[in-house]
């Protein structure tokens, strides 16, 4: 392939930036499309074009997708505020983007969703993710769905949350801290997105992307404490108390925790069965231990 164009909706975000960098390094031209495309320091490359686009607005989606061979939708909304709803972004927006992509002859669509997406979830966010998958597929049948577990890099995402919580003198656990998690390196998910653009056998399939090792939440805390060379007491805190705390914190202008995040922590977030995985894409994902330790991302196996 010679320099094909890929539009990354949400390309300035945490995962979006990794996807853009990975594509550029692999020789693609990339169009970053979001509401504030100038934000973020990376990537600066003449292979990267930045366009203003709101996923709710078809008139801005069309020029963002015109001429693209593939689209990756990495747009996120984690909290309903300022009149923005999960339905607008994750369901209706995903549908609009998929329909525009189909109308404009975009060949491949990758939708970033999340492990655990379910229409039966108590979380509005998680339900919207599942409905968004259906909405994207209804407009673009060959949509490849990538469902990562909790994302991190050496200093961002879940690792940054672990760093913050281990600064406390006493660490409150979600319940007994037994929820199983499979934190995944954002660079590995970015590599998976590119593989899905390139590998025709991935069209229309769901992939669940978890890191190299599964840990309980308590073990994740212990890894960070070990990395810092410190000890802290940990206390179990029932989920009912976390829900109350999330409700109270919701009164703040920028709440550090919300109800949907508490619900997410009530359920295991690990790769399930009957779905594609990193192994099918020839990628050996890093473990949380390796990410925290700053192990250099290894090259993919194929």
Ligand X SMILES: NC(=O)c1ccc[n+]([C@@H]2O[C@H](COP(=O)([O-])OP(=O)(O)OC[C@H]3O[C@@H](n4cnc5c(N)ncnc54)[C@H](OP(=O)(O)O)[C@@H]3O)[C@@H](O)[C@H]2O)c1
Residue numbers at the binding site for ligand X (CB under 6 A): 9-10, 12-16, 34-36, 39, 53-56, 74-77, 89, 112, 114, 148, 150-151, 157
CB 237 within 8 A of CB 175: yes
Q: How far is the CB of 221 from ligand X (least distance, A)?
A: 17
Q: How far is the CB of 10 from ligand X (least distance, A)?
A: 3
Closer Cβ to ligand X, 232 or 275, answer by number: 275
Taking CB atoms, the residue at the shortest distance from ligand X is 13
Closer Cβ to ligand X, 53 or 223, answer by number: 53
Q: How far is 186 from 159, CA to CA, in rounded Å?
A: 11
Q: Radius of gyration over alpha carbons of the chain, in Å? A: 19
Closer Cβ to ligand X, 58 or 295, answer by number: 58
Closer Cβ to ligand X, 232 or 297, answer by number: 297
In terms of phi and psi (left: phi > 0; alpha: psi -120 to 50; beta: otherwise), the region of 3 is: left
Tell me the H-state helices in the chain: 14-25, 58-65, 86, 93-103, 124-139, 158-165, 186-198, 217-228, 239-249, 259-266, 288-292
Closer Cβ to ligand X, 148 or 187, answer by number: 148
In terms of phi and psi (left: phi > 0; alpha: psi -120 to 50; beta: otherwise), the region of 262 is: alpha
Omega before 187 cis (within 30°)? no
CB 224 within 8 A of CB 162: yes
Q: How far is the CB of 36 from ligand X (least distance, A)?
A: 3
Q: Give the angle 276-280-286 at the CA atoms, nearest 5°.
A: 95
Across the strands, what pairs with 148?
Answer: 209
Closer Cβ to ligand X, 232 or 268, answer by number: 268
Q: How far is the CB of 144 from ligand X (least distance, A)?
A: 14
Q: How far is the CB of 4 from ligand X (least distance, A)?
A: 22
CB 211 within 8 A of CB 289: no
Q: How far is 85 from 190, CA to CA, in rounded Å?
A: 26
Q: How far is the CB of 13 from ligand X (least distance, A)?
A: 2
Closer Cβ to ligand X, 208 or 222, answer by number: 208
Q: How far is the CB of 169 from ligand X (least distance, A)?
A: 27
Q: How far is the CB of 25 from ligand X (least distance, A)?
A: 18
Of the candidates 128, 148, 8, 11, the one whose C-alpha atom is nearest the C-alpha of residue 79 is 128
Of the candidates 96, 171, 90, the one whose C-alpha atom is nearest the C-alpha of residue 130 is 90
Closer Cβ to ligand X, 78 or 301, answer by number: 78
């Amino acid at each position: 392939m010679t320099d094909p164009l890929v539009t990354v909706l949400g390309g300035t975000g945490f995962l979006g930036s990794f996807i853009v960098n990975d594509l550029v390094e692999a020789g693609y031209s990339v169009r970053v499309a979001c509401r504030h495309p100038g934000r973020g320091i990376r990537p600066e490359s003449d292979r990267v074009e930045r366009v203003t686009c709101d996923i709710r607005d078809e008139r801005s989606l069309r020029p963002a997708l015109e001429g693209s061979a593939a689209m990756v939708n990495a747009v996120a909304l984690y909290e309903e505020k300022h009149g923005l709803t999960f339905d607008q972004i994750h369901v209706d927006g995903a549908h609009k983007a998929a329909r525009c992509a189909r109308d404009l002859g975009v060949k491949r669509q990758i939708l970033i969703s999340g492990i655990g997406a379910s229409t039966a979830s108590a979380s509005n966010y998680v339900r919207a993710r599942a409905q968004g998958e259906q909405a994207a597929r209804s407009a673009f049948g060959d949509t490849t769905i990538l469902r990562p577990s909790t994302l991190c890099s050496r200093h961002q995402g879940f690792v940054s949350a672990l760093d913050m919580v281990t600064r406390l003198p006493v660490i409150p656990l979600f319940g007994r801290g037994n929820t199983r998690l499979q934190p995944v390196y954002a660079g590995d998910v970015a590599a998976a997105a590119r593989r899905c653009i390139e590998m025709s056998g991935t069209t229309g399939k769901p992939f669940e992307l978890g890191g190299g090792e599964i840990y309980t939440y308590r073990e994740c805390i212990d890894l960070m404490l070990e990395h810092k060379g410190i000890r802290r007491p940990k206390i179990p805190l029932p989920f009912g108390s976390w829900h109350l705390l999330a409700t109270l914190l919701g009164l703040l202008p920028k709440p550090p925790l919300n109800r949907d995040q508490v619900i997410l922590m009530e359920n295991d977030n690990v790769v399930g069965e009957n779905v594609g995985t990193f192994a099918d894409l020839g990628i050996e994902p890093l473990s949380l231990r390796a990410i925290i330790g700053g192990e250099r991302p290894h090259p993919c196996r194929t």
